[in-house]
Amino acid sequence: MRNFAKRLELSPPILWFSLGFILRLIFALKLGNRFYQIDESGFYSAAVNLARFNVYGSGNMASSGAPIPAFYYSLFFRFFGDHSLYARLGLLIPNMALIWIVWKMTEELTHSNLAGKIALAISSIYPFFIYYGAMMMSETPYLVLIGLGFWQFCKNLAEEGKNLMRSCAAGASLALAGLSRPEGAVIMLGIWPLAFFFSRKSLRLLKSLALSCLCWTAILFSWSLRNRVQTGSFALDSHGGINLLYGTMLFNVNEQDTSAAIDSLSQMPSFAGIKKLPASLQDKIYWKAAFHFICEHPKTIIKQWAQKTINFWRFYPRQDKFYMEGPRSQPNVGLKRNALVLISLLTEPFLIFLGSWGLIELLKINRAVYPIFLFVLATFFLHVISVSQMRYRLPVMPFLILGFSSFVAERL
């Protein structure tokens, strides 16, 4: 085992980067121009609209939402045409950046070259990084920015706030992550106060955190102000209410398929004609209805939370779920379910259990990684409250890979 560890530690990084690039390129080319996840069509439409009209929305009508994925995909549509394959190939750039971030983050936070190489090897071939890395959705931009942000955040804590540029980089990355997926902004609302509390004995660190938080606030405030001017709503996004409604009142239907939940909602008399209202007003109605259901059905909600906990930490995709397939949806990309189960079982149980164990061990010797631990817990709890699927665990996987690599490196 020591010989294996030594060989792995001395393996050239270019070997793993080349392998990761080839796997991702082949998969992107295989997917081509059609859609495989229902959400892809929404991101595609937003990106094409940006490329054609320079407006984030529909036609000349602006809308609120997380703009980073659409802005990124629109760059490739502007230069090469509005074929989804160009966006998939464009995702190779952040995909390779994600591999590098997981590698260097692990190496620096564990102070172990071996742990870094283990993380590099895993992230190069991790099947769900490859799969979602080719899907034209928010996953890859969010993973890159949240990984970079928490890496710099933790490094800043370890250095007692010596590097002000690192403080700015952490705040900016975490803010852009929130503009890739709004849940990132919600989670940071809980982490910032805890970070200030835990750093209260160090004036220099408090100043550094204040600068980082200021950068984070300025970026998110700027986009919220744009939303207020162009859409009439100061909110970052207008989908929180509908998601909570799907995860509570329409939980059983949503467990079958999101499209079934959409159809069911449209047939409910209490929401008749709601689509004619402004998006911000729709969101308020959905929030109110969801909270009313939660208060009226506490036992049902607890049962739902238990089921959503299982959904979040699943080892492999559900076998009892009927997946809608058509021109805009083929989530299995042609693979049989048995193959998906096998691929998942080769990675998920080990990364979840040993990764969590490794993170706890690392937290004991390096207190500066506590924001990562908080992020993992917050992501889990947020989806237990709203909508939970195996897919929504992906943002915590770079950090579980970090923990797994630390765990294995210590034993080797």
Confidence tier at 394 by pLDDT (50, 70, 90): very high
| pLDDT, mean of residues 402-412 | 94
Residue 39 lies in a domain: yes
Residue 205 lies in a domain: yes
pLDDT at residue 233, as a whole number: 83
| Domain extent at residue 91 | 2-239+315-411
Higher pLDDT, 255 or 84: 84
Residue 107 lies in a domain: yes
User: Is the predicted pLDDT of residue 281 greater than 90, yes or no?
Assistant: no
DSSP bridge partners of 61: 58
* Mean pLDDT value across the chain: 92
Written as one letter, the residue type at 14 is I
Q: How many domains does the chain have?
A: 1
In degrees rounded to 5, what are phi and psi of residue 35? -100, 150
pLDDT at residue 407, as a whole number: 97
Confidence tier at 404 by pLDDT (50, 70, 90): very high
pLDDT at residue 221, as a whole number: 96
Residue 307 lies in a domain: no
Q: CA-to-CA distance for 282 and 271, rounded, in angstroms? A: 9
Residue 281 lies in a domain: no
How do residues 130-178 score in pLDDT, each as one tens digit?
999 999 999 999 999 999 999 999 999 999 888 999 999 999 999 999 9
Written as one letter, the residue type at 179 is L
C-beta separation of 132 from 191 below 8 A: no
How do residues 177-198 score in pLDDT, each as one tens digit?
999 999 999 999 999 999 999 9
How do residues 113-122 score in pLDDT, each as one tens digit?
999 999 999 9
pLDDT at residue 322, as a whole number: 65
User: Is the predicted pLDDT of residue 325 greater than 70, yes or no?
Assistant: no
| pLDDT, mean of residues 81-102 | 96
Of 129, 131, 135, the residue nearest 395 (C-alpha): 129
Residue 335 lies in a domain: yes
Confidence tier at 319 by pLDDT (50, 70, 90): confident
Residue 270 lies in a domain: no
Confidence tier at 326 by pLDDT (50, 70, 90): low
Residue 256 lies in a domain: no
Q: What is the secondary structure of 120-189 as a DSSP string?
A: HHHHHH-HHHHHHTTSSSSHHHHHHHHHHHHHHHHHHHHTTT--HHHHHHHHHHHHHHHTT-THHHHHHH
User: Is the predicted pLDDT of residue 97 greater than 70, yes or no?
Assistant: yes
pLDDT at residue 329, as a whole number: 66
| pLDDT, mean of residues 348-377 | 96
C-beta separation of 399 from 360 below 8 A: no
